[in-house]
């Protein structure tokens, strides 16, 4: 607060000195005696001080010299107009400098596009690793989670004082969960209550789980007022920091709540943003500490705000050939999707429990729903990887996947939410939660990004995945195992065989004398169509733990 007061005082005094003429102006008949001039300067300084203080205090604007470009322009213009003689010339010079600074700040976005692209450059790869079907993705959609928390709001003491805050997905004690703080519902509720009672926690992988209210008093929240408001508390502690994105609640493994906000630097002038670190605040005591991204505490999953990642995606997609190309020509321009659950990106976790922000990119051409690629950005470090996908195939984008779901359930008026691209069995595939018009989860839908006619849905991601595997085989797709499935070799005698014609291929399912069932498509091995009961076979397969194990290679002994 002391820094804000001193800064506002200095800005107020300088503004008064620039605006008021220090010498008499005969042309405008402005005459001041020494005492009158001091009183005028003092009075205007106080008014300007109050104005600057209220502006910075209310808006939480960063307190840097460049943030005064507009007042500087106004006051120097006024000062040059009201003064005369040498004083007018000097203030005229200040006006010219203010005009140049204003022009630089306002036009920076046209000249720093190349710098924006450079800071947003991503590693380039083809495909993400094959998903391990033994794992459970964080697939509970946020709207469904929020509805469940609202229905459980009766767990909160003095319910009428509060409302549910913003959801944040994270990993707590090795489990993927949604966290939502309880917020004040208005000024008078805050004035009387002072502290919120806690937060809700809900599994992000189990749609049948129920929300749990955790009692943990928080004095510093986004819905508090004056110096207890989290954004203002961060600003008063770090006056000159450039923050970007909303504050978010993070819970450590002991259940203690902390609010975090990303900070960094402008690309140039006061335009653009690049995240450098994260500020962390104890929601109970207000104690704050700032960290670089490399040094952020381990319990913080989202050190880089989703808003900052979305901005980075925009730089990467739009400015590959500079600013003007993003509007005219649009050569190699790719637009990030707006289907994400948080600031146009969707948080997901890898097999190590590291959070990434996902988004897909599409063509700027109207009516085109093909995906040009997709990006995963590490939510702790801000480092991103762009995946081109199989360049020999055309992938459907997230909007196209949502349209397929809408058409599939058009009579029920169900809609998809949170489409995420996975590599299921070697096939780029969209996994999407399907909700009814009331926001209740109905099923999980999977559709191939390269072959939209191949779809499956089930009550859980695991069930949908099993049905999708069958659909891939029926559709003639190539099914490979998960990243962690072990390839094994076996020999045995065929007891039973079932063959099903699927398009141009035949899917063969068979039972060996070890009482285990296997499956293989003739697309992989054409000779499989000749398999008969009693044949002796030697083969390799993937031990996925499923009822029908996928065969990679097979040798039918009496055919050789």
- Give the pLDDT confidence of 212-229 residue by residue, as tens digits: 999 999 999 999 999 999
For 233-286, write each residue's pLDDT tens digit: 999 999 999 999 999 999 999 999 999 999 999 999 999 999 999 999 999 999
Residue 456 in tokens: 């499956």
More confident residue, 507 or 161: 161
CATH 2.40.50.140 range(s) for the chain read 487-556
Q: Does domain 487-556 have CATH number 2.40.50.140?
A: yes
Task: Indicate if the pLDDT at residue 33 is higher than 80.
Answer: no
pLDDT of residue 483: 45
Task: Indicate if the pLDDT at residue 68 is higher than 70.
Answer: yes
> Please, what's the largest Cα pairwise distance for the chain?
117
Contact 91, 76 (CB under 8 A): yes
Which contacts of 170-175 are long-range, i.e. CB under 8 A and separated by 24 or more positions?
Answer: 170/250, 170/251, 170/301, 170/302, 170/355, 171/301, 171/349, 171/353, 171/355, 172/201, 172/251, 172/252, 172/253, 172/255, 172/299, 173/253, 174/353, 175/203, 175/205
DSSP 224-253: --GGGBHHHHHHHHSTT-EE-S--EEEE-T
Q: Per-residue pLDDT averaged across 412-417, rounded?
A: 95
For 355-371, write each residue's pLDDT tens digit: 999 999 999 988 777 89
Using a pLDDT cut of 90, give the percent of the chain over it. Answer: 79
Which segment of 36-45, 96-105, 241-250, 405-414 scores lowest on mean pLDDT?
Answer: 36-45
Categorise residue 499: left if φ over 0, alpha if ψ from -120 to 50, beta otherwise.
Answer: beta
For 426-474, write each residue's pLDDT tens digit: 889 999 999 999 999 999 999 999 989 899 999 999 889 888 887 886 6
pTM for this model (two decimals): 0.86
CA-to-CA dists, residue 162 to 153, 158, 258, angstroms: 9, 8, 19
For 317-368, write each residue's pLDDT tens digit: 999 999 999 999 999 999 999 999 999 999 999 988 999 999 999 999 887 7
Task: Indicate if the pLDDT at residue 160 is higher than 60.
Answer: yes
Task: Indicate if the pLDDT at residue 16 is higher than 90.
Answer: yes
Distance CA 330, CA 277 (A): 33
Which residues are 179's β-sheet partners?
A: 168, 201
pLDDT of residue 410: 93
Contact 37, 57 (CB under 8 A): no
- Among 450, 452, 466, 558, smallest CA distance to 519 is for 466
**What is the residue-averaged pLDDT of the chain?**
92
């Amino acid at each position: 607060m002391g820094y804000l007061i001193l800064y506002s005082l200095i800005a107020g005094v300088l503004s008064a000195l620039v605006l008021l003429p220090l010498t008499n102006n005969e042309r405008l008949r402005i005459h001041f005696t020494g005492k009158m001039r001091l009183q005028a300067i003092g009075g205007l300084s106080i008014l300007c001080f109050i104005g600057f203080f209220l502006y910075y205090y209310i808006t939480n604007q960063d307190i840097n010299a460049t943030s005064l470009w507009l007042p500087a322009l106004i006051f120097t213009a006024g000062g040059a107009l009201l003064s005369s003689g040498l004083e007018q010339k000097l203030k005229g010079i200040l006006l010219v400098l203010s005009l140049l600074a204003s022009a630089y700040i306002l036009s920076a976005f046209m000249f720093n596009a190349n710098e924006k692209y450079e800071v947003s450059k991503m590693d380039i790869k083809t495909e993400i690793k094959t998903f391990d079907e033994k794992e459970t993705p964080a697939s509970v959609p946020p709207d469904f989670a929020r509805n469940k928390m609202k229905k459980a709001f009766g767990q909160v003491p003095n319910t009428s004082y509060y409302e549910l805050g913003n959801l944040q997905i994270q990993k707590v004690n090795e489990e993927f969960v949604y966290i939502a703080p309880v917020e004040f519902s208005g000024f008078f509720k805050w004035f009387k209550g002072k502290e919120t009672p806690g937060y809700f926690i809900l599994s992000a992988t189990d749609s049948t789980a129920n929300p749990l209210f955790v009692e943990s008093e928080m004095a510093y929240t986004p819905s508090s007022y004056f110096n207890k408001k989290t954004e203002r508390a961060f600003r008063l502690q770090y006056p000159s920091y450039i923050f970007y994105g909303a504050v978010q609640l993070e819970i450590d493994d002991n259940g203690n709540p902390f609010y975090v906000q990303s900070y960094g630097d402008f690309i140039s002038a006061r335009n653009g943003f690049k995240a450098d670190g994260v500020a962390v605040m104890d929601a109970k005591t207000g104690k704050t500490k700032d960290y670089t991204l490399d040094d952020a505490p381990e319990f913080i999953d989202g050190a880089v705000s989703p808003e900052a990642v979305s901005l980075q995606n925009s730089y990467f997609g739009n400015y590959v050939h500079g600013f003007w190309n993003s509007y005219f020509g649009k050569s190699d321009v790719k637009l990030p999707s707006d289907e994400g659950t948080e600031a146009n990106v969707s948080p997901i976790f890898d097999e190590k429990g590291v959070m990434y922000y996902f988004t897909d990119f599409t063509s700027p051409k109207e009516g085109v729903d093909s995906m040009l690629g997709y990006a995963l950005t590490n939510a702790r470090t801000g480092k991103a990887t762009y995946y081109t996908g199989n360049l020999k195939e055309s992938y459907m984008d997230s909007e196209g996947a949502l349209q397929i779901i809408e058409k599939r359930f058009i009579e029920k008026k169900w809609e998809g939410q949170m489409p995420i691209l996975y590599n299921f069995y070697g096939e780029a595939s969209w996994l999407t939660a399907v909700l009814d018009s009331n926001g209740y989860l109905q099923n999980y839908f999977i559709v191939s990004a390269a072959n939209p006619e191949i779809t499956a849905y089930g009550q859980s991601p695991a069930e949908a995945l099993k049905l999708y595997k069958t659909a891939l085989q029926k559709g003639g797709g190539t099914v490979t195992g998960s990243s962690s499935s072990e390839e094994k070799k076996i020999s045995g005698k065929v007891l039973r065989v079932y063959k099903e014609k699927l398009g141009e291929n035949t899917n063969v399912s068979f039972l060996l004398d070890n009482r285990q069932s296997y499956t293989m498509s003739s697309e992989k091995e054409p000779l499989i169509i000749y398999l008969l009961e009693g044949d002796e076979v030697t083969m390799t397969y993937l031990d996925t733990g499923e009822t029908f194990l996928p065969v990679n290679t097979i040798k039918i002994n009496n055919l050789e």
